[in-house]
A and B are shown apart, each in its own frame.
Chain A
Amino acid sequence: MKILRRMDKKSVQLIFITIALFGLMVWLRGDRFLRPKNMESMLFQLVEPGLFAMCIAVAYMSRGMDLSIVSIANLVGVVNGMLLRTQLNPDGSNVGILLAACVVIAIAIGLACGLMNAFFISNVGIFPILVTLGTQNVFMGIAMALTQGRAEGNFPQQLLDFGDAKIGPVPLLTILFLLVFTVLCVVVHKTPYGKKLQWMGSNSKVTWFTGIDNPKITYATYMLSGVFASLAGLVIMARTNSAKADYGTTYVFQALLTCVLAGISPLGGTGKVYNLILSIVAIQITSTGFNMLRISPLIRDSIFGALLIISIVIDFVSRNRRARRLNRAAIRQLKEQPGGG
């Protein structure tokens, strides 16, 4: 109990939610849910939504928004797909170099897209949602124009083997995802950049007058988000053996839900990134559960929508209560001071 009290409050909540969901699934469909095959596919599936949730998390912390992430991922997939289709030798002798080039290109695209978002947000001064709504469609339009709306596919076997690889029972992609996730946790909670990011998110005027370079933080944030999105693009390539300009547009919504559930507020500043992994798992259990219970995807969307509203309401209420409590404490302190108040 002592440990529970010392832990972050949101983490405790999320652990209970996750355990409850897990228990509910075991109770309802235990025979199928607990199969090793199912566990494995859940670990496999949570990688893409997880990466997208990380993108949204950094954007949220800066009190911004990044709607363009799925488009960045698809752009990465399409460009790499075209590269592989046109440049691969028939005997497959240059596969290694090409796959390395794919990773470099992916990260370059992610950085460039993030740079564009950040330029419009911090230098031109447009509202982040508006910028990323625009760039979302610009990036998707570029991918559409490159492919004429067709899907790229038939990637080399090495890439697919990489996507399917496992270390013990755990998919390799999941392990790599956990590594990237740990890096993000360290960056946000242990580096000066992360501190400045959260401060800027809670009050950008104050950080500006304190001498923190707000535009620089904004650039770093959106470029980070772009890189995670491009990694998601690579994962989609390796996992689905195809890339399409308008694949997976609902991921943005799921990522928003994951972040809000993890206590990373759209109002910026607050939240612990490590809670994200718990909410990613919780969302994954829920969506697998919906599949197993044969609940139609149409109903699933509206349930997720309701969940989003509920978690936003909880977030706002607790934020208001906390603000009021701090206010009262400050007033009490002022009254108690001799000569003050």
Chain B
Amino acid sequence: MAFYPGAIAGLAGIVGVSNIQVANPYDFQNRELTVTAAVVIGGTRITGGKGSVLGVVLGVLVTNIISQNLVLIGIQPEYGKFVFGILILFAAAVQGIQAKLRGRK
């Protein structure tokens, strides 16, 4: 099934290009941050074994709402990376603590 992510990434490329109508090699670079944030917020365990497609979709919605509205609520775009960094740490910390509590039980 390793071809599947590649196929989806290709699809994402087409969607992206049809949106912005230019293509250049650096277009989607540094998107890993928001994407990883979306996946982790969606409840996917990064070590594998747990996660759902619905969760990931909701995670993408959350990160998109945040990144679109940061400017509207008056936060400088420079802080965007900071916010997403905190977000990843927070979401992953919730998972980590949950796993620890479950282990203790």
Contacts and interface: CB of A to CB of B under 8 A. Distances in A.
Determine which residue in A134, A144, A149, A298 has the highest number of CB atoms from chain B within 10 A of its CB, and name it: A134
B96 A126 contact: yes
Main SS at interface, chain B: helix
Interface residues of B, number: 27
B96 A125 contact: yes
Interface of A: 120, 124-127, 129-131, 133-142, 144-145, 148-149, 298
A248 to B, nearest CB: 14
A131 B93 CA distance: 9
A1 B51 CA distance: 55
Contact of B88 (A125, A133, A142, A149): A133
Task: Give the top 10 A-B pairs by smallest Cβ distance, nearest first.
Answer: A141-B82, A137-B85, A138-B85, A134-B88, A125-B96, A134-B89, A144-B78, A126-B92, A137-B81, A124-B96
Contacts of A125: 96-97, 99-100
Contacts of B81: 137, 140-141, 144
A contact face: mostly helix, strand, loop, or mixed? helix
Nearest to B82: A141
A77 B86 CA distance: 22
Interface of B: 25, 32-33, 36, 40, 46-47, 76, 78-89, 92-93, 95-97, 99-100
A13 B67 CA distance: 48
Given A131-B92, A134-B86, A144 B79 contact: yes
Contacts of A142: 82
